[in-house]
A and B are shown apart, each in its own frame.
Chain A
């Protein structure tokens, strides 16, 4: 087959525009982060010791791998390899769930140490540390929400693949769910070093 059928742009322009707006959304929070870190460098470093570098690195590896698995799933779909598509979508969902579990443990640890927005323990700390923890909860929380939504979209896509609604000739739903998922990965790629790797 030598026909080069470019897929119509209407199938992905919406998602790309949305991705652009999402980057701006997190961008605003990164702006806050950069300003406050500039103003309170030492306190940001001190507060960052509350975080587990191991958990952060683990979650980074999880999301990177999930991007890999969803990319494989989409390629498999285009090649008509339905079983492989579903297998790798399932793997992606499992990784997404793992991410949320790890994040849940992380937050749980903080709560147990009395650290949560507006907590007395937190408010007793220096201003820079309060800002850091506040940003941590806000940004990782917003990101986790995106993981949840993205995972749900992928789960819907999986169901559609199983039913045959999404298939090689009609890949749009899965492609777009995949694009959103990669965005979630990219956001984390920046969140991770900024919160977990302050030296």
Chain B
């Protein structure tokens, strides 16, 4: 039987807490969208989405307990690449 997960601290209870936080995050983001926040809205919404994704990545996908640095870095690196794509595109798009 594999003991590594139990030693890592993954428990049913922890998962339930993460689940609760994710649902809470959803409630927050839906509420924020119905308030008239204007330009701020998209920032709030993206921030909440990033927080939720981080929870899923760290706890459900076990990156919190991942020993191999390389695997932990794959998603952050890809996200940085995307940010560069989108950012650089906007240096063009925003001027037209």
Contact A168 B2 (CB under 8 A): yes
How many residue pairs link A and B with beta carbons under 8 A? The number is 142
Pick from B12, B53, B71, B77: contact of A186, CB under 8 Å: B53
Give the contacting residue for B15; candidates A9, A72, A79; CB below 8 A: A72
- Chain A, residue nearest B20 (CB): A68
Q: Does A134 contact B (CB under 8 A)?
A: no
Interface bits A25-66 vs B (CB < 8 Å: 1, else 0): 001101100110011000000000000010001001100110
Contact A23 B71 (CB under 8 A): no
Name the segment of A14-22, A93-101, A116-124, A148-156 touching the other chain: A14-22
> Quick one: closest A residue to B77, CB to CB?
A20
Q: Tell me the bound Cα distance from A77 to B58 in angstroms.
A: 20
Are B22 and A64 closer than 8 Å at their CB atoms?
Answer: yes
CB nearest to B44 among chain A residues:
A193
- Contact across chains for B29 and A80 when beta carbons are under 8 A apart: no
User: How many residues does chain B have at the interface if contact means C-beta atoms less than 8 Å apart?
Assistant: 55
Q: Given A65-B19, A182-B61, A189-B56, does the pair A197, B29 have CB atoms closer than 8 Å?
A: yes
We find that the number of chain A residues with CB closer than 8 angstroms to chain B is 54
Q: How far is the CA of A80 from the CA of B8 in the complex (A)?
A: 17
Shortest Cβ distance from residue A113 to the other chain B in the assembled complex, whole angstroms: 23
Q: Can you name 10 extra interface pairs (CB under 8 A) apart from A64-B23, A78-B1, A169-B1?
A: A6-B67, A38-B90, A57-B26, A67-B19, A68-B60, A179-B61, A182-B57, A193-B46, A193-B48, A199-B35
Which residues of chain A have a CB within 8 Å of any CB of chain B?
1, 3-7, 9, 12-13, 16-17, 19-20, 23-24, 27-28, 30-31, 34-35, 38-39, 53, 57, 60-61, 64-65, 67-68, 70-72, 75, 78-80, 168-169, 171, 178-179, 182, 185-186, 189-190, 192-194, 197-199
- What 7 pairs across the A-B complex have the smallest Cβ distances? A197-B33, A68-B19, A193-B45, A27-B82, A64-B22, A71-B60, A20-B78
